[in-house]
Amino acid sequence: MFILQSLASHTLLNVLNGRNLSDQLHSTQAQHPELSGAERAALLDLCYGTLRHYGWLQATLARLLKTPLADRFVDTLLSVAIYQLVHTRAAQHAIVDHAVRAATQHENGKFKSLVNAVLRQFLRQREALETELARDTVAFWNHPDWWIAELRSQYPKDWKAILKASNEHPPMSLRVNLRQQTAADYLQQLEQAELAASLVALPVRQGEAPLAIRLTKPVNVDKLPNFFAGSCSVQDIGAQLAADYLDCQDGMRVLDACAAPGGKTCHLLEQYQLDLLALDHDAQRLRRVEQNLQRLQLQAKCQVADAAETKKWWDGKTFDRILADVPCSASGVVRRHPDVKWNRRKTDIRQFAQQQAKLIDALWPTLANGGKMLYATCSIFRSENEQQIEQFLQRHRDANLVWQHAVLPTSHHDGFFYALLQKNG
C-alpha cells in the first residue's frame, strides 16, 4: 500500500502544480506496468478521492500543523493518508504505517516522525475536527471560496444542490449506436451479461425522446457487450442532448468545430446521414475522434486546425449546421475532473470567455443563411453561457436566438449549457 500512497502523492503533486489529472495518471501507470488491475483501480481512487475532498483535507491539515508544510510531497502524502482513514475500509494502523514508510523514502526520511505524529493526532481528534470543519465553507463544500461565491451569486436557489452534485461520484451512462440496435435491445444484452441498468428518456426539444442507458454501477468498457464492435459509447446524458438540439436533417453539411474526443461527432452520425467535418487543433486528440469513428463504423472528414483561424481550413462553402462545443472552464463536469476546481482561477473564466467569443465570431461567417449554430459548453458559469450569447447577439444583428438551456448538474447528469442560434437571411 505504501507504494500506492507514494505514487498517488507524486501524481497529485504534479496535478496540483497545474497538470491534467487524466494525463498524469496515464503517465504514472505507463511508468509502472507492474501494477495489477486492482492496484490501478486503487490508485485512481486515491487520486480522485483526495481531490474530491481536498478542501476538507487541507483544512484538516491546517488545524493539525503549527505551520504550513514547505515540503509539498509530504503535504500531499498526508492528504492521501487522511482521505484513506476517512473514506476507505483499509485498517487504520496499516494506513499510518504505510504513510510512514512512504515518508521514509523521501528526503532521507526526515519527515517520517512528523507524518506518524500528524496521522495519530488526527485519529485522536477526528470527531472534534469534523465538528469544527462543518462550519468551514471551503471544507464543507470542497470547492474554492471564489467558486462557491460565484455559484451563490448566480444561482441563489440552486447553489447548494449544484455543489452537492459536483462532489458526487459521476454516473455511468451509455449512448446506444442506433445503426446497430435499439436501446431496449442493448439493455437486454446488458441484463444477459448481468450488468444492472435502466433506460432513461432524454428531455429533447423535438420528436420522440431517444433513450439512453444508465448503469447501476460503473464498469470497465471491456465488460460492456460488443463495445469494441461499436454497439455503444460511454457518454453523459447531458452531453447526449447535443445531437437532438442541433436540429439536423439527412444530407446536411455540418461542422463540429471542436470535435475531440468525438462523442458528439459520432452521435450526430449515428442519427443522420451527414457531410460532416470534424476539426480539432490537437492532432493527438483528433486521433481519438478517428478511433471512435472507426470503432462505431462511421465516416467523417477529420482535419487538424484551429477553428478560429478559418482562412487556414475553410473552403468557402457554407455549413447548414455548426456545433460549437467551445473550450470552457469545465465547471459543470468537476465530479469527473476534480482537478479542475483546484487548478482554475477566477481570472481563467474571463480568459475562456474571450476565447469563446473569438471562436464563435470566426465561425459565424461560415454558416449558411437560415443555418443554425449550437453553442455548447460544459460550464455552469454565466459569463461563459448566457452572458456570452447576449454579447454575441449584440455583435451580430443577423443572428436570432432560437432558445437557450442551462443543464445544471444533478445526480443523473453533468452540467452543460446549450444555445441554438439561427442566421437570418
Q: Which residues are known to be catalytic?
A: 378
Residue 174: closest CA among 194, 193, 202: 202
Q: Locate 184 and state its grid cell.
A: 431496449
In sequence order, which residues have a C-beta less than 8 Å from that of residue 328 and are 6 or more positions away? 352, 356, 377, 378, 379, 384
Residue 245: closest CA among 92, 65, 67, 419: 419
Amino acid at 272: Y
Rg (CA), the chain: 23
Return phi, psi of residue 273, to 5°. -90, 105
In sequence order, which residues have a C-beta less than 8 Å from that of residue 205 and are 6 or more positions away? 244, 245, 403
Rounded to whole angstroms, the Cα distance separating 24 from 222 reads 22
Rounded to whole angstroms, the Cα distance separating 109 from 114 reads 10
